[in-house]
């Protein structure tokens, strides 16, 4: 068996087309959806991410502004800028690109963003809404993963066992909550879980979100399982790769996401979905 690919690039293009239609509907009512992106420092990966986010936004007609600041920017100055954007009614979404320089408190910065503009879905208010099943902004990466599952007919996961490897507040825990909301049975693990293989072999769906190359190998995957690879790493040749031993796991799994071209494009696409949702909420 060779797994079928869940093409994140193709699905993200569909999502952007949906967002574009919603943007045009708002523009017809004289509302221009707008996203403000803040980048602190010169991290190469972050620069690529924000450049792609701006390009995605422009493709849909959604206005995106990128504000760049030096790595030695004072945290107080950043908080003041966020406060100004919170008060600006023309801005519907605010994203502060992580990671931040070490002298800044990421939690304090995220919490400074108004919850109704927290399109990255990291604010405690967003996490609380997700926890109790209330409307709120979902973190973009797990949100994208769920859309990928829906694209292959997995809207209702009743009777399915999902295993999430990775316990971070950004991906692991929100991913588990979304899977639970879709009626799956969920097990959360990490790379040091005793007998991790025994856990992953139970998974009808396995989500690898550790940030470690080849943490999920073919002997750890149930035949026919759906494998979602959230990892972003570099292999020995410097090429982008995920957390999954893709070449071998694809011969066992039923469905699999590639890296690149899988979860990454969908993460960016769901940022656009959250931003257009933010604009629609305040313009109703």
Active-site residue set: 53, 97, 120
Q: How far apart are CA 251 and CA 224, in angstroms?
A: 9
Q: How far apart are CA 38 and CA 94, in angstroms?
A: 8
The sheet with strand 4-5 has its strands ordered as 4-5, 255-256, 226-229, 205-208, 161-165, 185-189
Longest alpha-carbon distance in the chain: 57
CA angle at 61 for the pair 35 and 115, rounded to the nearest 5°? 25
Q: How far apart are CA 181 and CA 175, in angstroms?
A: 10
> For the chain, what percentages of helix, strand and coil (3-state, to nearest 5) are there?
45, 15, 40
Q: How far apart are CA 223 and CA 188, in angstroms?
A: 20
Q: How far apart are CA 2 and CA 247, in angstroms?
A: 10
Q: How far apart are CA 34 and CA 282, in angstroms?
A: 12
Buried-state track 46-64, b at ≥16 Cβ within 10 A, e below 16: beebbeebbebbeebbbbb
Residue with tokens 């109704």: 116
Q: How far apart are CA 36 and CA 126, in angstroms?
A: 18
CA distances from 82 to 91, 96, 217, 244, 259 (A): 11, 9, 43, 37, 33
């Amino acid at each position: 068996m060779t797994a079928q690919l869940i093409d994140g690039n193709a699905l993200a293009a569909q999502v952007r087309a949906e967002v574009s239609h919603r943007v045009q509907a708002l523009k017809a009512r004289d509302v221009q959806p707008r996203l403000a992106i803040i980048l602190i420092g010169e991290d190469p990966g972050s620069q690529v991410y924000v450049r792609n986010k701006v390009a995605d936004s422009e493709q849909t007609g959604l206005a995106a502004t990128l504000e760049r600041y030096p790595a030695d920017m004072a945290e107080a100055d950043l908080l003041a800028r966020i406060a100004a954007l919170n008060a600006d009614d023309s801005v519907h979404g605010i994203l502060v690109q992580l990671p931040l320089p070490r002298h800044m408190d990421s939690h304090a910065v995220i919490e400074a963003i108004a919850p109704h503009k927290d399109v990255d879905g990291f604010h405690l208010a967003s996490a609380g809404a997700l926890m109790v099943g209330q409307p709120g902004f979902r973190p973009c990466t797990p949100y994208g993963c769920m859309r990928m599952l829906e694209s292959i007919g997995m809207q209702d996961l009743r009777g399915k066992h999902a295993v999430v490897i990775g316990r971070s507040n950004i991906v692991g825990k929100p991913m588990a909550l979304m899977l639970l909301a879709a009626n799956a049975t969920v097990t959360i693990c990490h790379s040091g879980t005793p007998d991790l293989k025994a856990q992953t072999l139970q998974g009808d769906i396995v989500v690898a979100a550790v940030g470690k190359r080849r943490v999920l190998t073919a002997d750890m995957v149930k035949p026919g399982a759906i494998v979602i690879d959230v990892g972003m790493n570099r292999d020995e040749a410097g090429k982008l790769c995920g957390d999954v031993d893709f070449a071998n796991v694809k011969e066992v799994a039923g469905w699999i996401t590639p890296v690149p071209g899988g979860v990454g494009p969908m993460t960016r696409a769901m940022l656009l979905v959250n931003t257009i949702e933010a604009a629609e909420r305040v313009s109703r």
